[in-house]
Amino acid sequence: TRTKQTTIPVLRPLYVAILATWLLPAGAMAQDFSMSEAKKVDEDKVAELTQASSVVEGGFLYIDDSSARFGRFMGLTEDGAYVDLNVDIHKRGPYDGDSAKYTEITGRNLGLDYRELHFGFGEQGNYDLLIDYSQIPSFNSDSAQTIFNGAGSTNLTLPAGWVGSSSTAGMTMLESSLRPVDIEQERKRLDAGIHKVLGPNWSFKVKYRHEEKEGTKTVGAVMGNSGGNPRAVILPEPVDYTTEQVDAVLGYADKTKQFQVAYYLSSFRDHNDSLAWQNPYNAIGGWDPSSGFASGGQGQLGLPPDNEFHQVSLLGGYNLSDTTRVTADAAFGRMTQNDAFLPYTINPTLAATVTQPLPSDSLDGEINTTVVNLRATSRPSPMFRWKASYRYDDRDNQTPRREFVYIGGDTTNQDTSATSGRRRYNEPYSYTQHQYRFDASFRADKRTDLTAGVEREDIDRTYTEREESSEDTFRVGLKRRFSDTFHGGVRYARAKRDGSTYHGDHPFLSGYSEAYTDTQPGMWENHPDLRKYYLADRTRDRATVFANFTPSMYWSLGFNANYLKDDYDASEMGLTQSDISNYTFDATFMPEDGTTFYAFFTHEDLGAKQDGRSFQGFAKLAQAGDPNRDWMATHDDKTDSVGFGFKRMLNAQWELGSDLLFANSDADVEMMVGSGLSAEALPTTTTRLISLGLHATYKPKKNVKVRFQYLYEDYQSEDWAYDGVDPDTLANVITLGEDTPNYTVNVFGISVSYRYF
């Protein structure tokens, strides 16, 4: 790793030199123009406004070091040279001619893994056709390692000679079996569409999208699932998805009314059904002996299933008067998922114990959705305006509820007894939401604006601990222009949520068979005092303060601060409090035409408190009231960012610019535990970023630009969840041994662009 002492000296002389250039008076390098040259400049400006121009740009980038994180979305992950190409070609009839036809071709980053290409043609006011292609990489890690053969496939096998064990400490072949695996995906997208004007008021457009995503991501795979017997391994999961989308709209519009009807289709296909892996662990207590490594035990998990979504929507708007307008839209959709179920297990010995088969061949999942929005806006006077809205959102899950007698983590025999804890039901979750909102604004005088609003949200849910919840919100705001150079304002909102009685035992009672729950009186899955944060009573306060000051025509200063606090005052366990605060100072200085200087500073603070109770073994009920097993976690994340830069036109040929950014974040978790538990302090998670960008543009001719750029980026991070966690560090989990990203990269670039009419 590189330390700060190796980076700061590099930045200081570079930036001092740039600032010295910025301080030069513009006249020091200015050139005088003759009358004929000035006339030529005017002609060029007229041409730019009245003629379609095209630009072709080509160049090179050179990167001196490799880093998956630095180039994760651009494909610039390896050191070396890259070719880049950009095109922006436009052809259309003369502005004063009879033809309105046009053709355009746009390409961005055509030499890189992240690239975009657009082709369009048509006739303005008649029709438009387009074809778009984009390619987007996502590089997540280049330091991961796996013990399995076949990474990227759906069948992962252990290397020859593998030595199984009940924990990683006894796996003597683990370290020597590791092989690198890149965790990365690539998305390719093709769009095609047409827009046709059917008459003075009618139009039709349809767009089709085909998207493919391939690569590898990670998934946690578990063998065993009760008591202290689970064992796990982090696997490379194959990604091979195809998504098709169709969006068609027929619309009508005139001066007073608008209407459209639309159809939307989304079809997702995963070309892999499942992921299977050899069990690297030997059988332990609670497992059937045949499920361990020595007996050829295997695990299998399902991958994202194929699914479809169809939706028909209607939208209309009508101007009741010059000052009042109403709109309404309704959308009716259906989601389906009918992939074939995987077997309870692929281990032959365990499969032979299955006497109660799967209740169906597939989920036969179906969810019907209905969304309705009604809105009205009005400005009855120049000093007053209001808007009101209502939203209805219904998710009706028609998926059949069935009983599954599952096999625990591919390691236990099927237990079909009436009181078996392996009898579980899927829960087709549904909800209905009603939202009412009213906002008004009033101009008290020429310098003062007042705003206020109220909102009510009611949600009914099924298969949850709280069936009904309601939230009331009110908002107020003040914006005032104190003088011609200074204005600011404040906004405040408070929301309070409550609801029906919270039944913490509901998931236990509805998810298991009644014969089993009768044998477990008073039992639950989560502690009865724990509240899920999205269902719990909550009071939310949100405030914003902003101000802008322009002391002169050259200076502009700004300040913005935000505060958000959530208080879960009725939650004894779970998330009990969270708050987010941030503030930003920014300044812009424009001493003359062609010169801009900016600076900013931002501080962000995120905090949260969680309370819980730890359980050991199977004595949940006995330990439920033991305060000695309580724990509390306080999270505190702080981020500071400071940046400044400038852009300066030295003369008609040269333009210089620079951007400098420093960012620092620290994340701490403080643990407090009861006397029945023990905990160690967690190290601070840190991230440091220094980024310097320099760019210069030279115009040897009016239609030719040469662009030079340099980027220096130093990124250093420490995260206890990764640092020092090798594949065999944890006893019962084989990890990928990934490292936290740390890199120092220098990027050099040069390109030439040519503009023509």
What is the per-residue pLDDT across 588-611, written as a single tens digit (0 to 9) for each? 999 998 899 999 999 999 999 999
- Cα–Cα dist 507/424, whole Å: 11
Contact yes or no for 563/578 (Cβ under 8 A) = no
- Cα–Cα dist 128/103, whole Å: 10
Inform me whether the pLDDT recorded for 5 exceeds 60.
no
Helix (H) or strand (E) holding 729: none
Contact yes or no for 69/722 (Cβ under 8 A) = no
What type of residue sits at position 422? R
What type of residue sits at position 549? F
Q: What percent of the chain has pLDDT over 90?
A: 85
Q: CB burial class (10 A; 0-12, 13-18, 19+) of residue 557? A: middle
User: Residue 409: which residues within 8 A CB-CB, separation 6 or more?
Assistant: 222, 223, 224, 225, 230, 299
- The per-residue pLDDT for 453 is 98
- The per-residue pLDDT for 177 is 96
Min mean pLDDT across 339-348, 362-371, 519-528, 701-710 is at 519-528
- Cα–Cα dist 243/67, whole Å: 30
- The per-residue pLDDT for 22 is 46
Both ends of the chain: CA-CA distance in Å? 51
Inform me whether the pLDDT recorded for 573 exceeds 60.
yes
- The per-residue pLDDT for 757 is 87
Mean pLDDT of 724-738: 95
Inform me whether the pLDDT recorded for 501 exceeds 60.
yes
Please tell me whether residue 305 adopts helix, strand or coil conformation. coil
- Cα–Cα dist 19/30, whole Å: 19
- The per-residue pLDDT for 228 is 74
Inform me whether the pLDDT recorded for 524 exceeds 50.
yes
Inform me whether the pLDDT recorded for 747 exceeds 50.
yes
Min mean pLDDT across 28-37, 118-127, 373-382, 687-696 is at 28-37
- Using 50, 70 and 90 to split pLDDT, how confident is the model at 36? low
What is the per-residue pLDDT across 208-238, written as a single tens digit (0 to 9) for each? 999 999 999 999 999 988 767 899 999 999 9
98 vs 456: which has the higher pLDDT: 456
- The per-residue pLDDT for 502 is 95
What is the per-residue pLDDT across 57-87, written as a single tens digit (0 to 9) for each? 999 999 999 999 998 999 999 999 999 999 9
What's the mean pLDDT when you consider all of the chain?
A: 92
Inform me whether the pLDDT recorded for 46 exceeds 70.
no
Inform me whether the pLDDT recorded for 112 exceeds 60.
yes
Mean pLDDT of 340-361: 95
- Using 50, 70 and 90 to split pLDDT, how confident is the model at 748? very high
- Using 50, 70 and 90 to split pLDDT, how confident is the model at 38? low
CA angle, 707 then 711 then 712, to 5°: 160
Indicate the Cα dihedral angle 44, 47, 52, 58, nearest 10°. -10
Inform me whether the pLDDT recorded for 2 exceeds 70.
no
Strand partners of residue 393? 371, 433
Q: How big, in percent rounded to 5, are the helix, strand and coil portions of the chain?
A: 10, 55, 35
Inform me whether the pLDDT recorded for 195 exceeds 60.
yes
Mean pLDDT of 478-502: 96
- Cα–Cα dist 651/310, whole Å: 58
What is the per-residue pLDDT across 631-684, written as a single tens digit (0 to 9) for each? 999 999 999 999 999 999 999 899 999 999 999 999 999 999 999 999 888 999
Inform me whether the pLDDT recorded for 31 exceeds 50.
no
pTM, entire model: 0.89
- The per-residue pLDDT for 33 is 44
- Using 50, 70 and 90 to split pLDDT, how confident is the model at 625? confident
Inform me whether the pLDDT recorded for 744 exceeds 80.
yes
CA angle, 647 then 752 then 111, to 5°: 105
Q: Which residue has the tokens 């109660």?
A: 356
- Token digits of residue 585: 């100072």
- The per-residue pLDDT for 394 is 98
2 vs 266: which has the higher pLDDT: 266
Mean pLDDT of 410-433: 94
Backbone φ/ψ region at 364: left (φ over 0), alpha (ψ -120 to 50), beta: left
SS (H, E, C) 523-548: CCCCCCCEECCCCCCEEEEEEEEEEE
4 vs 24: which has the higher pLDDT: 24
Inform me whether the pLDDT recorded for 437 exceeds 70.
yes
